[in-house]
């Protein structure tokens, strides 16, 4: 396990010596002489090559007995959720990153992805060098390390946020995994002081065009729930019994976004972080994406113009799905107006919150029997929304991680009024499916066709095959390359 076969040692060596941020999270450098593992971007003096061992992930370095560096802080590295050859491992890894093992065991995880528990263990060790449980345990310890370093939360709250119901168990696990007690990290010099609020750093592999992402989201902003300007995203989040505010902005000096949380339940922090990372596509490896798409001249042009373009996700799957249905056959502006009316009529009002951030998006159960025609929806589209709400309320349709794209699309199109275009759009933004591709999209057909003649849906699908598994990124590039990009997509 010292040198996983998936790693190209020569590439790792060059990236380490160059401190290349594009490789952050794609491998970790362990140093035998110090017993520490680091990110490729670690600013510490480079160790001798003879002392270096490369690991594909932080968990495998920790399993080999190395502890995380206090200087470069491996907990800030973006995750690797894409590019693995084995689909079963990819889906299970997505579920682990989404917190599945917090409340379930490995046997349940294996059943979820359709294999036996022992087979899943073997697949993980072969692909990643660790078992699913080792990866999950290391993930939550690194989350705790970040909270200890960057916040003034009490250690008891941090233990709860990391999924430990016993402070003693948390202390023991942290000491074993990180080489020091939580209280020792808390005693280290920190910029955070009690009362400053909760502020976390979220790393990504550059490039990221944050302004372009905000522009996309701003066109689709739902007043009452979101506030988006040129350099920050703000949102109110639930539950209604304890609403919280989040704000996301860019760090101008680092490949990081800054997440600020006010009044959040500490136990909800890992889920909030996961959702923000999904929303801004922070775990993407654009090197892989661009290497696949650049063989198409049109997409190569898009990459040259917008190298930091990513797939904008949504905060909540049901919200994205509703927004997609509202946007059928109307402009973005019209769909946004309908969404605003929906929230005013059926959203949950919140007392004591700032103006413009004082509503929660309506739950599926609220819309099952709602008179949606009253907000200006045609009768057929109102019926589609009620059917969607009913499917989400009874669990027929859900938006958890680790789903197969084809299975999700099949469940969507089984609902009245939802076709492949809407299903793929929902998969693209709600699930972050990197290969979602709405081949029936008029703009895609026009962009890929010849002047005055657009492709058919079948031809568009065939044209996209060489871009798999990154077709969602091709979609965004083609939409932005349309002259002009009118923002007509929901």
| Active site positions, annotated | 38, 441
Pairing mode, strands 232-237 and 52-55 = unpaired
Taking a C-beta distance cutoff of 8 angstroms, is the pair 283, 78 a contact?
A: yes
């Amino acid at each position: 396990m010292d040198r996983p076969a998936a790693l190209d040692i020569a590439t790792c060596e060059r990236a380490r010596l160059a401190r290349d941020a594009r490789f952050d999270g794609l491998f970790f450098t362990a140093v035998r002489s110090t017993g520490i593992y680091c990110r490729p971007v670690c600013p510490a003096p480079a160790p001798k090559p003879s002392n270096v061992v490369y690991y594909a992930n932080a968990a495998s370095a920790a399993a080999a007995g190395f502890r995380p560096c206090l200087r470069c802080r491996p907990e800030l590295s973006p995750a690797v959720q894409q590019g693995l050859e084995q689909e079963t491992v990819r889906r299970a890894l997505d579920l682990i990153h989404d917190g599945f093992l917090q409340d379930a065991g490995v046997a349940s995880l294996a059943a979820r992805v359709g294999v036996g528990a022992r087979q899943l263990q073997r697949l993980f060790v072969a692909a990643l060098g660790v078992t699913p449980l080792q990866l999950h345990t290391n993930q939550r310890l690194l989350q705790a390390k970040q909270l200890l370093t960057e916040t003034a939360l009490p250690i008891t709250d941090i233990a709860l946020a990391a999924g430990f119901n016993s402070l003693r168990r948390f202390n023991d696990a942290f000491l074993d995994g990180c080489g020091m007690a939580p209280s020792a990290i808390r005693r280290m010099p920190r910029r955070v002081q009690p009362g400053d609020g909760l502020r976390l750093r979220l790393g990504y592999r550059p490039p990221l065009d944050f302004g372009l992402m905000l522009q996309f989201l701003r066109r689709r902003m739902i007043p009452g729930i979101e506030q988006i300007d040129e350099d920050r995203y703000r949102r109110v989040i639930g539950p209604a019994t304890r609403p919280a505010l989040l704000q996301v902005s860019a760090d101008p000096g680092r490949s990081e976004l800054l997440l600020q949380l006010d009044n959040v339940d500490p136990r909800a922090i890992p889920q909030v972080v996961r959702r923000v990372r999904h929303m801004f596509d922070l775990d993407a490896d654009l090197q892989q994406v661009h290497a696949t798409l650049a063989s198409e001249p049109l997409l190569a042009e898009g990459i040259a113009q917008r190298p930091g373009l990513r797939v904008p996700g949504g905060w909540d799957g049901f919200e994205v799905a509703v927004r997609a249905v509202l946007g059928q056959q109307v402009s973005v502006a019209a769909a946004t107006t309908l969404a605003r009316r929906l929230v005013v009529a059926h959203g949950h009002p919140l007392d004591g919150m700032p103006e413009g951030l004082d509503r929660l998006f309506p739950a599926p159960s609220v819309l099952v029997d709602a008179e949606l025609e009253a907000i200006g929806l045609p009768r057929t589209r109102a019926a589609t929304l009620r059917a969607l709400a009913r499917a989400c309320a009874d669990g027929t349709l859900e938006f958890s991680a680790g789903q197969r794209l084809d299975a999700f699309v099949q469940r969507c199109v089984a609902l009245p009024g939802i076709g492949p275009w809407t299903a793929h759009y929902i998969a693209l933004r709600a699930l972050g499916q990197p290969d979602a591709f709405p081949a029936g999209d008029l703009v895609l057909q026009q962009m890929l066709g010849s002047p005055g003649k657009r492709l058919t849906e079948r031809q568009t699908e065939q044209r996209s095959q060489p871009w798999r598994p990154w077709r969602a990124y091709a979609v965004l590039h083609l939409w932005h390359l349309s002259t002009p990009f009118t923002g007509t997509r929901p």
